[in-house]
Amino acid sequence: MKKLLMIIALMITTQVHSRTFFEHPNQLIIATKKDVKLMINNLFDKDLSDLVEVKKISKFGHYLLSSSPAIELKKFMDDFKSMTEVEWVAANRVYEGEYREMEPNDPVFSKQLHHPIISSEKAWDIATGEKEIVVAVTDDGFRLDHEDLKDSWYSNPNEIPGNNIDDDNNGYVDDVTGWDFNEGDNSPMSDSSAGSHGTHVAGIVAAGFDNGIGVTGFGPKIKVMPLKFYGKNTWTSAMVLESYTYAADNGAHIITTSYYIDNFVGDQAYEKALSYAYEKGLILFNSAGNGGARQSKRTEFKKLILVASSKTKAAWGSKPDQKSSFSNYGRGVDITAPGDPIHSTGRSLNYVDMSGTSMAAPNAAGLAALIWSVHPDFNRDQVVAKLFGSVDDIDGLNTKYKNLLGSGRINALKAVKDDLPQTSIRDSWYDRDKKTFNLHLKGALDPKTFNRRGGIVLKKRGTEEAINAVIENEYFLATNVLVLKVEELGTYDLVMKSSAFVDPFGQELDGDSNGNPGGDFTTSFLVR
């Protein structure tokens, strides 16, 4: 009997955490500025073209095409690709299983322990912000009527509530307080199937500030745009794309998502969603993941800030600021924030503890929003540089994970001060398998002035000629490692010119790591 119960328990656990995806055979996502119906009519006979439904999912020419099984639309992807008026086309992926990254805890274990750890109260003594910053939370629903969230929601100023008219002509009728992309209506409220995750995340970012109720978010000027993209209906690429483009087009400064996205690698629609929002100037956060894995697949997304989780309390021999046992890590992780456990708003109009990188990501996003609110003159890149450069180094408490938890653990006090952060090289190494030399950054460079050529000089010992090395990879704000291809055997001396690499504030690289801008980074390495 015990063996049978163990097998049943294992089956249940496997089912709960199983995550799969497939490409819908009868759906395509297409980007074009032209008449989609005309394209369909040109491609199919009239009897078949009438079976293709077209749904516009952004005002800038993104459409979801759905057909009856008789057509199997996916087979015609190459035909659409060959049309000159089509910018891109992708299959609509369907994601099945549990993608939220949380571990619920008993609500009596603790209260808000994370704010003292990151010195939020001391930060608020200096400034609480002056500019309204909108954080789009993409999640499973929200208790809009929670007592500690009633004043936290972003309200669309260009939409008149309840008149059943798309007043601002953005394609969404009565989208006063966010949107439900999972069910296609203007109510992102939680329901019987979902909402505990989104409500908790929203409270971490922007629960009522100094209102004498419940918990607190990061500042009085921070608002949440509630975007429900996960719920009772099947979760798809189109829902994710539509939610990200909506946020970028309708006033959001930041998007935070706390979902398992390893399966999104190779999803063209998701990659387009990231690029669209990034190029519109938004900061994009996602949970680093709860699998305890090193360098998970999602680290391939370089426009996305991945947030690892640290502990907020001592338990079973662990200490605050140690990496949460469940948290992913690696050189592709960008930053760490408290996430284990976090006390925040609950779906049942209460307050609960939850743990997960799902809780860490909104803590980082909330602090980024506070930085932007306190420094309204900062641009997006400067906010990220300040966030990365104002951390506490927790490697001493995490010796097994040295250089694998991003820039460090967020610190609100340092983040709101006027001191400018420095960008430096935290580590470098030669990868024999890939034949590359790697420079691990601490902080952020300026993507606008970044040049892959001319800033790094390599000289092989025993030769007279020095060469200007070419950086293999592009640089985005969430790029942590610069990669050089070095294949020829020998010992090399490297000089990284500080003047060639500046941060978003215009400061030179702190190459000699003395705490001040300037000073070349120099090192030697062996290829054998």
Q: Give me 67's structure tokens.
A: 């057909």
| Run of H or E residues at 270 | helix 268-279
Strands 86-97 and 19-32: antiparallel
Query: For residue 464, what are the contacts with CB-CB under 8 A and spacing of at least 6?
Result: none
Nearest C-alpha neighbor of 408 from the set 387, 378, 425, 428:
387
pLDDT in tens, 168-226: 999 999 999 999 999 999 999 987 667 799 999 999 999 999 898 999 999 999 999 99
Tell me, yes or no, if 197 is annotated catalytic: yes
Mean pLDDT confidence for 227-232: 95
Tell me, yes or no, if 139 is annotated catalytic: yes
Mean pLDDT confidence for 156-162: 96
Percent of the chain, pLDDT > 90?
80
Nearest C-alpha neighbor of 326 from the set 342, 343, 313, 339:
339
SS3 157: coil
Residue 50 pLDDT more than 90?
no
- What is the Cβ-side half-sphere exposure of residue 84, based on CA atoms within 13 angstroms? 0
- pLDDT band at 99; cut points 50, 70, 90: confident
- Let me know: does 58 contact 171? Beta carbons within 8 Å: yes
Q: Which domains does the chain have, with CATH numbers?
A: 14-97 (3.30.70.250), 131-370+398-404 (3.40.50.200), 424-527 (2.60.40.1220)
DSSP track, 162-231: TS-S-TT-SS-TT-SS-EETTTTBS--B-BTTB-HHHHHHHHHHHPPSSSSSS---S-TTEEEEEEE--S
| DSSP tag of 234 | P
For residue 445, the model assigns a pLDDT of 98
Residue 300 pLDDT more than 70?
yes
Nearest C-alpha neighbor of 204 from the set 147, 152, 129, 151:
152
Beta bridge partners of 493: 459, 524
- What is the Cβ-side half-sphere exposure of residue 307, based on CA atoms within 13 angstroms? 35
Question: Which of 73-87, 132-146, 512-526 is the least confident region?
Answer: 73-87
CA distance 41 to 52: 10
CA distance 69 to 62: 22
- pLDDT band at 231; cut points 50, 70, 90: very high
Nearest C-alpha neighbor of 338 from the set 148, 91, 92, 111:
111
Q: Which residue has the tokens 């519109």?
A: 280
For residue 2, the model assigns a pLDDT of 41
Mean pLDDT confidence for 325-345: 97
CA distance 96 to 74: 19
Question: Which of 32-46, 131-145, 266-280, 473-487 is the least confident region?
Answer: 32-46
Nearest C-alpha neighbor of 456 from the set 472, 434, 432:
472
- pLDDT band at 318; cut points 50, 70, 90: confident
Mean pLDDT confidence for 357-377: 98
For residue 43, the model assigns a pLDDT of 82
Q: How many CB atoms are located within 10 Å of the residue 349 CB?
A: 13
| Run of H or E residues at 520 | none
Nearest C-alpha neighbor of 482 from the set 407, 523, 425, 408:
425
- Let me know: does 389 contact 378? Beta carbons within 8 Å: no
Q: How many CB atoms are located within 10 Å of the residue 519 CB?
A: 15
For residue 130, the model assigns a pLDDT of 95
Nearest C-alpha neighbor of 295 from the set 139, 403, 427:
403
Beta bridge partners of 208: none
SS3 33: coil
pTM as predicted? 0.89
178 Ramachandran zone, left/alpha/beta (phi>0; psi -120 to 50): left
Beta bridge partners of 294: 329
Nearest C-alpha neighbor of 344 from the set 283, 268, 258:
258
Residue 6 pLDDT more than 80?
no
User: Of the listed 197, 200, 253, 375, which one is catalytic?
Assistant: 197
Q: Give me 435's structure tokens.
A: 């034949």
Q: How many CB atoms are located within 10 Å of the residue 494 CB?
A: 20
SS3 473: coil
User: Of the listed 358, 390, 424, 498, which one is catalytic?
Assistant: 358
Mean pLDDT confidence for 280-286: 99
Residue 79 pLDDT more than 80?
yes
Mean pLDDT of the chain: 92
User: Of the listed 139, 140, 180, 503, which one is catalytic?
Assistant: 139
CA distance 93 to 268: 9
For residue 517, the model assigns a pLDDT of 97
Peptide bond into 341 cis (omega under 30): yes
